């Protein structure tokens, strides 16, 4: 295992390119978005899990200090979140194939509930800091912010994302939170894009941040200290993060009860997202003073807020809004361009891909 770790750390750039190519090629596998999609999704899930493990190995690369080499501690919860994201579409496809469209929501609900529990554990373990990219990136004010300013980062990553299946919402080259067309679903893991650091920068941020956390003597905050020191604002912040973490599960439970074409789950989910964002902006107001309990946003947290705002675009791709409004716009565009050479062909394929991806909850979940 140690030999494999050394090889991964030594060839990380090569691996990133290879993983991006492999994930992109999965869209060319036969039977995409069909009843027999289990095979392609299984391939995608395996590639995604391997990628997540490799990212974890790279994130824990030892750093040389004055006292020697220090291996940053990396929370196993983050690896669990990444693994669950890679497996959730496979779970959905297998459940649909074996139990049908209605009963598949039971399995999706179990998957989302597991993610909620893992993220809550990660939230507690981090000292109740804002989760970045669903828990994929370590939130440390000192390490990442200093590095970001040193390298002149503006908080916008280059695209390159996971234009292929696999739900990697947030890892540099492979996430454009757009697996919904991976370009759409990875629009939400390039809403990890607009706000996420580039892959190499993310690794530097995480390594520096974990090193700071290892050497720091600051005691990790607890619920009681947050509530006592921040009062109402501390409570509102905890509520905002709890809403953000639990929203996907709430959405699935109401779809399970009322059906995917009902407006109730759609409106309730949107309301939860908007409430969480509003509370977060109230608590983390950039112009307010810490003395009143306000917590100014760090650079990474500002990027995370942008990412969460971008994730709201997924509501355009979720039923019943998609079925009633968005799909018609896509089809009208396809008809308008169908006689244009090359452009018409590419547009038709793109619309076909988007409509196919939209049928998968996990491609459009933004979770």
| List of residues 6+ apart from 187 with CB closer than 8 A | 176, 177, 178, 180, 181, 193, 310, 313, 314
Domain edges within the chain = 2-364
Q: Which long-range contacts (CB under 8 A, 24 or more apart) does 302-306 make?
A: 302/155, 303/132, 303/155, 303/194, 303/195, 303/196, 303/197, 304/130, 304/131, 304/132, 304/133, 304/195, 305/195, 305/277, 305/280, 305/281, 306/155, 306/191, 306/194, 306/195
**What phi, psi does 67 have (nearest 5°)?**
-95, 5
Q: pLDDT 10s digit of each residue in the chain, 367 long?
A: 778 877 777 777 777 777 777 766 666 655 555 555 777 778 788 888 888 887 877 777 777 666 656 566 566 888 888 889 889 988 999 998 899 989 999 999 999 999 999 999 999 988 888 998 888 777 765 433 333 333 333 333 333 333 333 344 344 334 434 444 444 444 444 444 444 444 444 555 554 555 444 444 456 777 777 777 777 888 888 999 999 999 999 999 999 999 999 999 999 999 999 999 999 888 776 545 455 555 677 888 889 999 999 999 999 999 999 999 999 999 999 999 988 899 988 999 889 888 888 988 988 988 8
Using an 8 Å Cβ cutoff, are 306 and 295 in contact?
no
Instruction: Please state the pTM of the whole predicted model.
Output: 0.73
């Amino acid at each position: 295992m140690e030999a494999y770790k050394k090889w991964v750390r030594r060839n990380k750039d090569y691996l990133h390119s290879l993983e991006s190519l492999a994930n992109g090629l999965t869209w060319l596998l036969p039977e995409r978005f069909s009843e027999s999609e289990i095979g392609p999704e299984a391939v995608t899930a395996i590639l995604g899990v391997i990628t997540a493990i490799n990212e974890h190995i790279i994130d824990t690369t030892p750093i040389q200090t004055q006292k020697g080499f220090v291996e940053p501690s990396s929370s196993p919860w983050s690896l669990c979140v990444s693994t669950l994201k890679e497996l959730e579409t496979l779970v959905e496809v297998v459940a649909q194939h074996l139990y049908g469209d209605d009963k598949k929501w039971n399995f999706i609900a179990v998957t989302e509930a597991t993610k909620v529990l893992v993220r809550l554990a990660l939230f507690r373990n981090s000292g109740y800091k804002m989760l970045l990219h669903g828990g994929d990136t370590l939130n440390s004010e000192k390490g990442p912010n200093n590095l970001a300013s040193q390298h002149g980062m503006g908080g916008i990553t280059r695209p390159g994302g996971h234009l292929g299946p696999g739900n990697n919402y947030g890892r540099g080259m492979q996430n454009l939170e757009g697996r919904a067309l991976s370009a759409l679903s990875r629009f939400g893991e390039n809403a990890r894009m607009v706000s996420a650091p580039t892959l190499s920068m993310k690794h530097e941020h995480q390594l520096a941040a974990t090193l700071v956390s290892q050497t720091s003597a600051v005691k990790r905050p607890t619920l009681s200290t947050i509530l006592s020191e921040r009062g109402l604002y501390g409570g509102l912040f905890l509520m905002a993060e709890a809403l953000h973490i639990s929203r996907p599960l709430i959405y699935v439970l109401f779809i399970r009860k009322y059906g995917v074409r009902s407006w109730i789950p759609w409106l309730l989910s949107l309301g939860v997202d908007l409430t969480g964002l509003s509370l977060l902006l109230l608590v983390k107001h950039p112009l307010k003073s810490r003395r009143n309990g306000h917590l100014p946003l760090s650079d990474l947290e500002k990027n995370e807020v942008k990412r969460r705002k971008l994730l709201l675009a997924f509501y355009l791709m979720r039923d019943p809004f998609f079925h009633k409004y968005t799909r018609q716009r896509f089809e009208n565009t396809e008809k308008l361009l169908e006689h244009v050479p090359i452009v018409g062909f590419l547009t038709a394929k793109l619309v076909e891909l988007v409509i196919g991806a939209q049928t998968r909850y996990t491609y459009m979940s933004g979770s």
